Amino acid sequence: MGDEQERKNGELYEDLRQLIVITSDKKHRLQSLLKMTQMQTAAIEEIDLDLLSKYLEEKQRHIDAIDVLDVQFTDIYEPNIKSGLTDGELDNKDPRVRELYTELQALISDVQNIIKSIHSQEMINNTKAKEVMEDLRKKIGHVQTGQRGHSAYTQSQNISEGIFIDQKK
């Protein structure tokens, strides 16, 4: 039974190490995502649509990679780690396993904090984008009004002289 327990601890240890690597990669990608989200703010304020588009494409690339990491994490965590947590087996595990699990929890907490920061920055960006769009709508409205006024005063006069034909005979 001791060999069986040691084998299970070894497998759990390796699974936790893989989860830590995956979560670390996710954390780095999220940090890049946060940085790009912050740079988007400047692009929105400057109304630089090309730069904004570039940031959005780069963000999407990171989001796609994070989705893959999430699938990898779930594939390891769900069958191998989660069941052990619900059974309370982790308390009886090797101290190295508990240490790795604590490290994983800290990384997950960091990831959650970064996600919250990204969300709050996105909310700010959305508000700024709406303000910019409203300003542009107003400017377009003023331009259209000006164009109508201008065209009313600058119409070419194609008025020909009228001819009266008396049809009474």
Give the CATH number, domain containing residue 9: 1.20.58
In a domain, 167, yes or no: no
70-95 pLDDT tens trace: 999 999 988 877 766 655 566 666 78
pLDDT band at residue 152 under the 50/70/90 scheme: low
In a domain, 113, yes or no: yes
In a domain, 20, yes or no: yes
In a domain, 158, yes or no: no
In a domain, 81, yes or no: yes
Choose among 6, 9, 17, 26: nearest CA to 101: 17
In a domain, 168, yes or no: no
The answer to whether the Cα torsion of 84, 16, 26, 61 is positive or negative is: negative
Q: How far is CA 1 from CA 5, 6, 89, 131, in A?
A: 6, 9, 15, 67
Q: What's the structural domain count of the chain?
A: 1
Structural domain for 147, as ranges: 2-151
Q: pTM of the full predicted structure?
A: 0.74
93-119 pLDDT tens trace: 678 888 998 999 999 999 999 999 999
In a domain, 45, yes or no: yes
In a domain, 100, yes or no: yes
